[in-house]
Amino acid sequence: MSFDYDLFVIGGGSGGVRAARIAAGEYGARVALAEESRMGGTCVIRGCVPKKLMVFASQAGLMAEEMRGYGWEGAQAGRFDWSVFRPKLDAELTRLERAYTANLEKAGVRIFHQRATIVDHHTIALADGTRQTAKHILIAVGGRPALPGIPGEDLGLISDDLFLLDRLPRRAMVVGGGYIACEFATILAGLGCDTVQVYRGDAVLRGFDRQARDLATLQLGQIGIDLRLNVTPEGLERTGDRIRVMLNDGMTEDVDAVFWATGRDPYTGGLGLENTGVHLRPNGAIVVDEWSQTAVPSIFAVGDVTDRVNLTPVAIREGHAFADTVFGARPRKVGHAGIASAVYLRPHEVAQIGLTEEQACARGDVDVYATEFRPMRSMFAGSNAKVMMKLLVDPDTDRVLGCHVFGPDAGEMIQLAAIPIGMGATKADFDATMAVHPTAAEELVTMRTPARRHRLAVQAAGGTAAG
């Protein structure tokens, strides 16, 4: 049977673009890609890239405060002008979008700027009514913000909307305690918005190490966010040009904007998957094997739509491995364990790789090398903000099981720590590494004595040994 293409990719985000570019550019496959929105997907257009630029924009106040501590009398951040920033942001995203398109075209990929749905195991229907056939179909459509399902929720905005606002809200509420909620609340507060963050749990960033979570929770309050813990909205209603939020603690809040940051769902609705034998999990995620192959041999899926580890570099790696395997005769799997990540808060970021202290304790014996200290730079300026570094070590093998950093540029640090830890480094390897002085990161190679030793047998007997 002959097909129009060797590969048809649905979705022009991180995973889809990488797969298409490698399949066509490196392996000579005939590739088409459909994208219903802007090329680049969530990361480039409405996620990582605009978010990080806004994080940079939002730190002027903290920097001015620090500089006053260094003797720059009267140093002030001034007034943030969204009408200057927003067009610059738009221009940068347009530049990136063009670069993505150009790179695909250079590799010989045919791009359809329209929605695609699946008709059968080898056929795609495009929004213009035409049909295309392909030997392989790759689904890389990503995820979409999930709403909590409460009355009036349509009055709220989703994360995509932050980057498209005509003006910043004077008073905003961010709902959630995950990556997006904490980053958005930090950005909004840094840009001068009166920011309320409500989270249903007792410490933000569930899934991260508890010590880091507690420090992050504290920091959100310290930078001026009105953080309400153990609270969740029950309904929204319009009052004039504002929004009234009814909270489950009996309080109401009037704000100019509400941002839902209550998780993301795989974007599989309306894709035509009912026409195929592809299996979905209850949340709509596509079930794939270690080769990113679905239950249908001709259909593969990568990235957030599979809900494995929902991070851009993972989607890119999965897309690349798919192309190597299917078109390059170089079978490659992607490991999903031990992936580092960072949350871009200010002034201190949260970053981690491997097990949390809680997970390590549940797994077996662990020695915890941990330190909290006031770093030279901000302490000199009069700040009490603490940095935290932690290594979790298996006492039997000396292997480093996890690393956690709460501090300035923690994301940059964890990227480098991820290399030795991924290679199986021991605590002795860290100890043997000469410190770079004076840095904050040198603490990672100078912690000599465990702050705590957890022993499973002792815990089972009713306590935790410390020594």
Residues 161-180 that bind ligand NDP (CB under 6 A): 176-180
Q: Is 227 helix (H, G, I), strand (E, B) or coil?
A: strand
Pairing between strand 194-199 and 116-120? unpaired
Among 108, 152, 192, 201, binds ligand NDP (CB under 6 A): 201
Residue set of the binding site for FAD: 52, 304
- CB of 201 or CB of 224, closer to ligand NDP: 201
DSSP 8-state secondary structure symbol assigned to residue 399: B
Q: Which stretch binds ligand NDP (CB under 6 A): 194-202, 242-250, 321-329, 385-393?
A: 194-202
Write out the DSSP string of 113-167: -S-EEEEETTEEEETTS-EEEEEEEEE---EEEPP---TTGGGSB-HHHHTT-SS
Q: How far is the CB of 190 from ligand NDP (least distance, A)?
A: 16
Q: What is the edge-to-edge ordering of all strands in the sheet holding 452-454? A: 341-343, 349-354, 400-407, 387-393, 366-373, 452-454
Is 338 near ligand NDP (CB under 6 A)? no
- Distance CA(186)–CA(143), nearest Å, equals 23
Tell me the number of residues near ligand NDP by CB under 6 A: 23
- CB of 168 or CB of 343, closer to ligand NDP: 343
For residues 164 and 196, the answer to whether their CB atoms sit within 8 Å is no
Binding flags for ligand NDP, 132-151, as an x/- string (CB under 6 A): ----------------x---
- CB of 206 or CB of 281, closer to ligand NDP: 206
Is 264 near ligand NDP (CB under 6 A)? yes
3-state helix, strand and coil shares in percent for the chain, rounded to the nearest 5: 35, 25, 40
Among 217, 310, 356, 378, binds ligand NDP (CB under 6 A): 310
For residues 3 and 134, the answer to whether their CB atoms sit within 8 Å is yes
Three-point CA angle 332, 335, 338, nearest 5°: 155
Q: Which stretch binds ligand NDP (CB under 6 A): 80-88, 200-208, 332-340, 438-446?
A: 200-208
Residues 204-223 that bind ligand NDP (CB under 6 A): 206
Is 311 near ligand NDP (CB under 6 A)? yes
> In what helix (H) or strand (E) does residue 428 lie, and over which residues does it extend?
helix 427-432
Is 405 near ligand NDP (CB under 6 A)? no
Question: 125, 214, 124: which is closest to 404 by C-alpha?
Answer: 214
- Tell me the CA end-to-end span of the chain in Å, nearest whole number: 69
Question: 105, 102, 232: which is closest to 176 by C-alpha?
Answer: 232
Q: Which stretch binds ligand NDP (CB under 6 A): 15-23, 89-97, 198-206, 454-462?
A: 198-206
Which residues are the active-site residues?
437
Place of tokens 């880091």: 212
Is 50 near ligand NDP (CB under 6 A)? no
Chain position whose Cβ is nearest to ligand NDP: 178
Among 152, 192, 235, 263, binds ligand NDP (CB under 6 A): 263
Among 200, 242, 332, 363, binds ligand NDP (CB under 6 A): 200
Is 58 near ligand NDP (CB under 6 A)? no
Is 261 near ligand NDP (CB under 6 A)? yes
Q: Is 12 helix (H, G, I), strand (E, B) or coil?
A: coil
Among 327, 344, 369, 430, binds ligand NDP (CB under 6 A): 344
- Chain residues binding ligand NDP by CB under 6 A are 148, 176-181, 183, 199-201, 206, 232, 261-264, 310-311, 341-344
